[in-house]
Amino acid sequence: MFEKEISVALAVEGLSEQDVYSALEVPKEAKLGDLCLPCFKFSRALRQAPPAIASKLAPYVQALPFVSRAETVGGYLNVFFDRNTVAAMISPLSKEECVARSSEGEGKTVCIDYSSVNIAKPFHIGHLSTTVIGGALYRIFKHLGYNVVGINHLGDWGTQFGKLIVATRKWSSLEEVAANDEYFLNSLYVRYHKEAAERPEMDDEARAWFKRIEDGDAEATRYFDAFKKVTMEAVEKIYKRLNITFDSYAGESFYNDKMQPCLDILREKGLLKESDGAQVVELDDYDMPPCLLVKADGATLYATRDLAAAYYRKQTYDFYKCLYVVAYQQNLHFKQLFQVLKLMDFAGADDMEHIAFGMVSMEDGSMSTRNGRVIWLKEVLDKAVEKAATIIGEKNPDLQNKEQVAESVGVGAVVFSALWNNRIKDIVFSYDKVLNFDGETAPYVQYTYARCASALRKGGAFDPDKADLGAITTDEGYEVIKSLLSFGESVRQAAKLREPCVVTRHIVDLAGKFNRFYIGHRIVVDDESTRNARLMLTAAVKHTLGTGLALLGIDAPEEM
């Protein structure tokens, strides 16, 4: 806030605007001002002591209309804004709900590859991070004016489908599969691996069935399509609960006929080498092992299909950036992929990013779908909603739409827990943590939003033009105002860093500051100008919290 104006004003005494802008800081304590400029780094260039530099610069800042005073403390120039001037800036936020919108991304397309569920496997807690991080980034970039393409790169290719066909033919039927759900498919998958451990010849049978899928065999395709139908119907229900949408479901199978042109380019450039019968791109010069693209038996791999996907996405969407929201376990895969694309002179090679996140494990070890060691996401969501319903029943039994509110609060708590930390942090899943609704959680922010809504219903219409700004510029009120006005920067930072937690933490901070103001200051008072100011502030907080929650994919109930 006002950083640019101050940088322009202080571009004197041998300092550039960029010199000043990059040095400005927000003090850790409010008593030290709204912004401060440490002058130590300018000492050598200006050949003056930092305190002398700060003293010389102070008058230039003091002359700005939004500055109430400028103080020098040692080598620091501390700047205090005029609180009424700052308070007046929140008026627009009280009138519109879509705060912090921007057109900075106009004309630029961002492709985001996230969730990427595996066909025939239920959603487990390990899928939550990629899904909600990707969904949040999708909404954040869209909020900033980018054209965003959400891609669900389905895991719908591989020998596991041959295994499922074998399992279905041995222990079930297509009719039973169609009449059941994804959990039934998973039980067949788990049983297959237990049996195959004793009877390895089953794997040969599975490979043969997958080869028939690759060849377009009608019977094999009938099984494959049935598995896909059951899975997609199930995951769509989860996506609806999580407020997740996609623009493309082009998965691995979609690129089956698009890989050969990529292999041809590599061969023409002399990059494709034979190694023990397989086809690889050697990456020794880049301190990486070879990138395997075609196995000795002629089978292709993830990397082959990812090469084809990159070319397809560039040709189809002409992306400005292409982001892959995938766990850090795949770091090497993406380093190899991006390097091979550079060697191919791929036009978008420098615009591709791996948005890595930490792994989720159980308290007693890692998860394994094939061994049946998993925590299903549906069960987690259901338990969270059940707890929310119990709390609502105890505290507000007459609440209308109790079931809908419980769903919003319970699911919101689960999503928020996955978006609270920096994405690279590993998570040990704990029901106790996810189902804890106290403190820095979605229910806390949702409750604050509902509190604002209640105050606005009681207060009725208000006129920002007839507001006594002094009624909201107390120390507590001013902290709320600064948090409101810096929200837009947090959204931009979340996009720049690819870190939704920047938004998550901002709205928790804003909720805390508003609640402190709310406790100390009545919103609906008799004095009209005071009431106008406090309702304006409350409306701005409501709209900003609502926007923040929406960017994260979390509902904001009007009552709780």
User: What is the C-alpha to C-alpha distance for residues 174 and 224, in angstroms, rounded to an integer?
Assistant: 10
User: What is the C-alpha to C-alpha distance for residues 520 and 340, in angstroms, rounded to an integer?
Assistant: 61
At 78, which helix (H) or strand (E)? strand 76-81
> What was the pLDDT predicted at 548?
97
User: What is the C-alpha to C-alpha distance for residues 508 and 420, in angstroms, rounded to an integer?
Assistant: 10
Contact 100, 491 (CB under 8 A): yes
> What was the pLDDT predicted at 33?
92
Max Cα separation, the chain?
86
Contact 2, 35 (CB under 8 A): yes
User: What is the C-alpha to C-alpha distance for residues 310 and 535, in angstroms, rounded to an integer?
Assistant: 50
Contact 273, 279 (CB under 8 A): yes
Contact 331, 356 (CB under 8 A): yes
Give the residue extent of every domain in the chain: 3-81, 159-241, 260-299, 377-417+432-552
User: What is the C-alpha to C-alpha distance for residues 196 and 163, in angstroms, rounded to an integer?
Assistant: 10
Contact 392, 559 (CB under 8 A): no
Q: Which two tokens stand for residue 192?
A: 């297959």
> What was the pLDDT predicted at 438?
77
Residue 372: alpha-carbon gap to chain centroid: 28
Enumerate residue ranges in the chain where pLDDT < 50.
367
User: What is the C-alpha to C-alpha distance for residues 254 and 130, in angstroms, rounded to an integer?
Assistant: 21
Closest CA to 322 of 106, 111, 139: 111
Is residue 474 packed enough to be buried (19+ CB in 10 Å), middle (13-18) or exposed (0-12)?
middle
CATH topology of domain 377-417+432-552: Isoleucyl-tRNA Synthetase; Domain 1 (1.10.730)
Q: What's the predicted TM-score (pTM) here?
A: 0.91
Contact 390, 470 (CB under 8 A): no
Contact 344, 373 (CB under 8 A): no
CATH topology of domain 3-81: Gyrase A; domain 2 (3.30.1360)
Q: Which residues make beta-bridge pairs with 247?
A: none
**Would you call 179 helix, strand, or coil by DSSP?**
helix
> What was the pLDDT predicted at 375?
83
> What was the pLDDT predicted at 220?
93
**Would you call 303 helix, strand, or coil by DSSP?**
helix
Question: To which residue do tokens 């930072």 refer?
Answer: 493
Closest CA to 58 of 23, 9, 5: 9
> What was the pLDDT predicted at 64?
93
Question: To which residue do tokens 């990427």 refer?
Answer: 116
